Amino acid sequence: MRLTLFNVVAAVIIAIAFAAVNAAYLVWAERRGAARIQRRPGPNINGPFGLLQPPLDGIKLMAKQLTIPGGADKVLFIAAPVLAMFPAIMSFVTIPFSENIVAKNMNVGVLMIFAFAALGSTSLLFAGWSSRNKYAMMASIRAVSQTVAYEIPMLITTITVVMIAGSMDLMEIVHQQSGSFLHWNIFPLLGKSHNILMPLSFLIFFTCTLAETNRSPFDLGEAESELVAGFHTEYGSMGFGLFFMAEYANIVIGSCMTTILFLGGWGCPFGLFPGVWWFILKLYLLIATFIWIRWTFPRTTIYGLLNLSWKILIPLSLFNLLLTAGLLKVF
C-alpha cells in the first residue's frame, strides 16, 4: 500500500472512530458488567439492552457548561483532557489487528506505543496541577509516581518479548508466534525461547497494564473514597468525558498490546483460520477481565502499590529477562 495523504487521513479517522466507539461502548459494557456482578439490571431503558445510553451520555456531557475553577491555569486546564485522549488515539495507528488491518506498520511500533503511553501520564499531572485543588494535586502526584513505578517492569517484560522476536515490529512479533497456542509467548513450549517462566512475565505485564491505565485495584489517581474524584475533581462537561474516554481507550490499547505480545495476536489457538476475529475475541476477553477485576477487588494503598512494583515486579521481570537471554543463547 502506497503511503498517500488520503491513506493517512483515512487511517487516522478510522483510528479515532475505533477509539471513540470503543471508549463509549466499553462504558456501557462496564456498567452492564458491573450490574451483572452486583445482581442489578444496569442501564436498560434507552434502546435495546440500553445500547443508546453511551450516545445519550455523550450528548448530556456536551450540553454541560465547562467550568474553570478560579485560580486555575486555564491553558493547562483545557489542554489536559486533550492530552489524555490524543496519545490514546495515536497509539491505535500502529496496532495491527490482522495481516491486513493496520493503519501504518512501523518497525519501531513497540517503541512508539510506549512513548505515547508515557505522554498520557503528563496529562494527569497537568490536570491535577492546573485545577488548583489539593485533592487533585495529591492524586496527580500519586498517578505520576505510579506511572514511573509501573512503566519500568512493563518495559522490561516487553524487552523480553522483543528479544525473543528479535524485532520491535508488532507484525513481526505476531508472525514469530504463529502456529498453535504453544508458540505464543505466554507459554512458549514450541517457541524460540522455551522459557517456562513466561506466564510470570504475562502476569507482570497484565498487572502493569492495570496500573498504567489507573484501573482498580490500582485506581489511586481517582480513589473516590479518599481523594473525592482524584485528578478530575474539578472537571465537568466534556473535559471529564475526555478523561473517561481516554481511560477506556487506554484499556483497549493495553489489552491490544497484551494480545500482540503474549497471546499471538490474530493467531488461532489451534492454528486454524487466523484472522481479525481471533484478535477481537482475545482483546475483549482481556477487557472483560479488566472489568471483572475492577468490581471484585478493593483498592490498594499507594505504598502497597509502590512496594509491589519496586520490590517484587521489577526484580522478577529483570530475572526473567536474564533467563530468557540465557535460554536464547543456549537454544
Partner 1 sequence: MSSPIELQSDETFILNVGPQHPATHGVLRVKMEMNGEYIVEAETVIGYIHRMHEKMGELKTYPQYLMNLSRMDYLGALGYSHGHVLVVEKAAGIEVPERAEYIRAIMVELNRVASHLFWFGAFVMDLGGFSPLMYALQDREHILDMLEAVTGSRLTYCYFRYGGLYNDVDDQFIESARKFIPRMRKSLKKYHTLVTGNIIFRKRLEGVAPLSKETCRKYGASSAVARGSGINFDVRKNEPYSVYPEFDFDVPVYHGCDSLARYNVRMDEIEQSLRIIEQGLDKLPGGPIMPKKKPKIIKPPVGDYYQAVETARGSFGVRLVSDGGKTPYRLKLRSPTYSNMHLFDESCRGMLISDALAFMGSLDLVIPEIDR
Per CB under 8 A, contacts with partner 1 among 251-270 are none
* Whole-number Å distance between alpha carbons of 152 and 159: 11
Q: Minimum Å distance from CB 73 to partner 1?
A: 19
CB of 37 to partner 1, least distance (A): 6
φ and ψ at 89, to 5 degrees?
Answer: -70, -45
- Which residues, listed in sequence order, are joined to residue 270 by a DSSP beta bridge? 180
CB of 304 to partner 1, least distance (A): 6
Residue number, 131 or 259, with CB nearest to partner 1: 131
Select the residue interacting with partner 1 from 55, 69, 179, 217 (CB under 8 A).
Answer: 217
Distance of CA 240 to the CA centre of its chain: 18
Closest CB 225 distance from partner 1, rounded Å: 4
Q: At what angle do helices 276-294 and 5-37 cross, to 10 degrees?
A: 40
Closest-CA residue to 309 (of 225, 171, 158, 208): 208
DSSP secondary structure letters along 111-155: HHHHHHHHHHHHHHHHHHHHTT-HHHHHHHHHHHHHHHHHHHHHH
- Please, are residues 240 and 232 in contact by the beta-carbon 8 Å criterion? yes
Exactly one of 49, 297, 319, 331 binds partner 1 (CB under 8 A); that residue is 297
CB of 305 to partner 1, least distance (A): 10
Residue 304 lies near partner 1 (rule: CB under 8 A): yes
Annotate each residue in 224-243 with x if it binds partner 1 (CB under 8 A) or - if it does not, as one string.
xxx-x---------------
Q: How far is the CB of 227 from partner 1 (least distance, A)?
A: 8
Residue 298 binds to partner 1 (criterion: CB under 8 A):
yes
Largest separation between any pair of C-alpha atoms in the chain = 64
Amino acid letter, 117: A
Enumerate residues 31-50 that contact partner 1 by CB under 8 A: 34, 37-40
Residues 6+ apart with CB under 8 A from 52: 46
Nearer to partner 1, 191 or 230 (CB): 230
Residues 298, 226 contacting (CB under 8 angstroms): no
Segment contacting partner 1 by CB under 8 A, of 55-63, 117-125, 254-262, 302-310: 302-310
Should residue 299 be labelled a site residue for partner 1 when binding is judged by CB under 8 A?
yes
Task: Name residues contacting partner 1, limited to 96-155 (CB under 8 A).
Answer: 134-135, 138, 142
Cα within 13 Å of Cα(263), Cβ side: 21
* Binds partner 1 by CB under 8 A, chosen from 7, 67, 107, 296: 296
Contacts with partner 1 by CB under 8 A lie at 34, 37-40, 134-135, 138, 142, 216-217, 219, 223-226, 228, 295-304
